[in-house]
Amino acid sequence: MARVYNFSAGPAALPLEVLETIRNDLPDWRGTGMSVMEVSHRGKDFVELAARAEATLRELLAIPDDYCVLFTQGGATLQFAMAPMNLAASGDTADYVQTGSWGKKAVGEAGKFCKVNVAADSADRNFTYIPDPASWQLTDGAAYLHYTPNETIAGVEFHFVPECEAPLVVDMSSTILSRPVDVSRFGVIYAGAQKNIGPAGLTIVIVRRDLLERAPASLPHLMTWRAYAESDSMTNTPPTFAWYVADLVFQYLKDGGGLAAMAEINARKASKLYDAVDRSDFYSNPVAPAARSWMNVPFVLADAALDARFLEESAAAGLMNLKGHRSVGGMRASIYNAVPEQAVDALVDFMAEFERVNG
């Protein structure tokens, strides 16, 4: 079997062990004689799976009891709207810290539902840093403060949790499960599954229970987090296959030592890759060192005329999906949990050899 090293930003690599389990399970899941895709989400087998997935996720992230875990759809992008819909009345102000393209999209959606104050913005330097929290212009009595702990496109990550009166609402799509986090510091954490959790189509939302009360009665049922919280996320048919795969990924992470173990590996992977980028002027990364992402490592070649050759030869070497986002150019290696350290080692070796030949 020819598996390549997949550096896709999302949908992204899944652990081979998980794929093999899926292959085995597929025609006859749990002795039902059916695949998991063909059974009722309200049947005993699926309900058990769903509960186990939530329990394992709770264990991995040490989610306190006063938080609910929702399995929803619509991606992080729908949460850009659901956060203000559920948390802010139209006269309220929500604060946003904008450190990249995803945060900017979240700002755009929130503006349809409430007043938005962009408390800090790093667009002036092309989203390559995080403005010092001491400079943030926060609103007294803000409904919440939203930020993006990891901006997937420019590769900018918060390596701290800011202090704030208002509940913190965060888009963790591309960093969730990459390391332990103190969930109790946040009001709401949401993440599309297709980076570090499982297949596209599932969105995890972790909400402090008291915040569920804020949603106005006029909201459509499925636009309220409360609807999911009150029905174990089965108010309508959930994305059962994606939920099943997420459960397998959670088990895989737990068996691998949990998030502390992942953090150690992820820190090492990232540092190997940044070292390779920093070693010479042939490659560079513009992000402030303190804000460099562990998960998404963009880098450019000093001579952009070599980009096409780099991509062609890296793909021929089994290093796939390294093309950078069009807004940044160059390359981007996404090195989520499921991208093994050997993949990073192979990329680092390829980069050195490519520089030797073309530098």
Ligand X SMILES: *Cc1c(COP(=O)(O)O)cnc(C)c1O
The residues of the shown chain that bind ligand X, judged by CB under 6 A, are: 10, 75-77, 102, 148, 152, 171, 173-174, 192, 195
31-43 b/e (C-beta count within 10 Å ≥ 16 → b): eeeebbeebebee
Which of residues 79 and 354 has its CB atom nearest to ligand X in the complex? 79
Active site residue 102: yes
Asked if 171 is an active-site residue, the reply is yes
Please identify which of the residues 29, 95, 136, 195 carries the catalytic annotation: 195
Out of 95, 136, 171, 247, the active site residue is: 171
Element (H, E) at 170: strand 168-171
Minimal distance, residue 41 CB to ligand X, in Å: 21
* Closer to ligand X by Cβ: residue 39 or 262: 262
Nearest-CB residue for ligand X: 75
Enclosing H/E stretch for 51 = helix 44-61
Residue 12 or 301: which CB sits closer to ligand X?
A: 12
Min CB(97)–ligand X separation in Å? 13
CB of 194 to ligand X, least distance (A): 6
Of 29, 95, 102, 323, the catalytic one is 102
Closest CA to 197 of 71, 324, 66, 77: 71
- Measured between alpha carbons, how far is 175 from 262 in angstroms, rounded to an integer? 11
* Residues in a beta bridge with 171: 190
| DSSP assignments along 94-124, one per residue | EEEEE-SHHHHHHHHHHTTTSEEEEEEE-GG
Q: Is the Cβ of residue 105 or residue 309 nearer to ligand X in the bound state?
A: 105
Q: Please choose, from the candidates 184, 116, 180, 177, the residue with its C-alpha nearest in 3D space to the C-alpha of residue 147.
A: 116
Give 77 or 235: the residue with its C-beta nearer to ligand X.
Answer: 77
How big is the chain by its Cα radius of gyration, in Å? 21
CB of 279 to ligand X, least distance (A): 28
Tell me if residue 29 is catalytic: no
Backbone dihedral region for residue 63 (phi beyond 0: left; psi -120 to 50: alpha; all else: beta): beta
To the nearest whole angstrom, how small is the minimum distance from the Cβ of residue 47 to ligand X?
A: 25
The residues assigned a catalytic role are 102, 171, 195
